[in-house]
Structure 1
Amino acid sequence: MLKVRVKLNEKKFSIPVPYSVLNLFSFIITSKRVNGFINKAIEKDGSKFIFPQIERKDLMPLLKGLSNHKGLVLVDTKLKDGTEVEVKL
């Protein structure tokens, strides 16, 4: 389970993200239709960046590998205004 913890000044909250939600998100992000929507939105903005097509078979080893490294901190950020974000497996 991916755990996202956010601390804003005096407020704290945690968002647990199960691996099943990550798998669902990988289906969405790898679809050609969503990739087309993203690229059209980028073109409307005027940017020349193109969001690359990602293959599901390339993401599967990453998603399977995440469950093998429980407790690993992926992101730990503290800003000057007191905001803290931590993403942990």
Structure 2
Amino acid sequence: MLKVRVKVKDKKFSVPVPYSLLNMFSFILTSKRVNRLINNAIEKNGSKFTFPQIDRNDLKPLLQSLSKHKGIVLVDTKLGDGTEVEVRL
């Protein structure tokens, strides 16, 4: 489970993200329809950047390896205004 912890001034909260939700998000991200919608939205803004088509088979090993490395801190940031964000496997 991916754990996102955010601390803003006096408030703290944690958001657990299950691996099944990450897998579902990868299905959505790799679909051709979503890629087409993203690229159309980028073109409306006048940017010449295009969102690349991602193959599901390329993401599959990454998602499988996440569950093998539990406890690793992916992101740990502290901003000047006291905001802290930590993403941990």
TM-score range, shorter chain: over 0.9
Q: After TM superposition, what 4+ stretches of structure 1 lie above 6 angstroms from structure 2? A: none
Structure 1 position 3, deviation (Å): 0.2
- Give the distance between the partners of 1:39 and 1:81, measured in 2 at CA: 35
Unaligned runs of 5+ in 2: none
Q: Which amino acid is the alignment partner of residue 70 of structure 2? A: K
- Give the distance between the partners of 1:47 and 1:83, measured in 2 at CA: 31
Name the SS for the 2:4 alignment partner: strand
Aligned to 1:73: 73
Structure 1 position 46, deviation (Å): 1.3
- Give the distance between the partners of 2:46 and 2:10, measured in 1 at CA: 39
- In the superposition, the TM-score normalised over structure 1's length comes to 0.98
Aligned to 2:19: 19
- CA deviation digits over 1:45-79, x for unaligned, max 9? 11111100000000000000000100000000111
Structure 1 position 9, deviation (Å): 0.7
- Give the distance between the partners of 1:9 and 1:44, measured in 2 at CA: 38
The answer on 1:10 being equivalent to 2:7 is no
- In the superposition, the TM-score normalised over structure 2's length comes to 0.98
Unaligned runs of 5+ in 1: none
Name the SS for the 2:34 alignment partner: helix
Name the SS for the 1:81 alignment partner: coil
Q: Which amino acid is the alignment partner of residue 73 of structure 1? A: V
Aligned to 1:60: 60
Aligned residue pairs total: 89
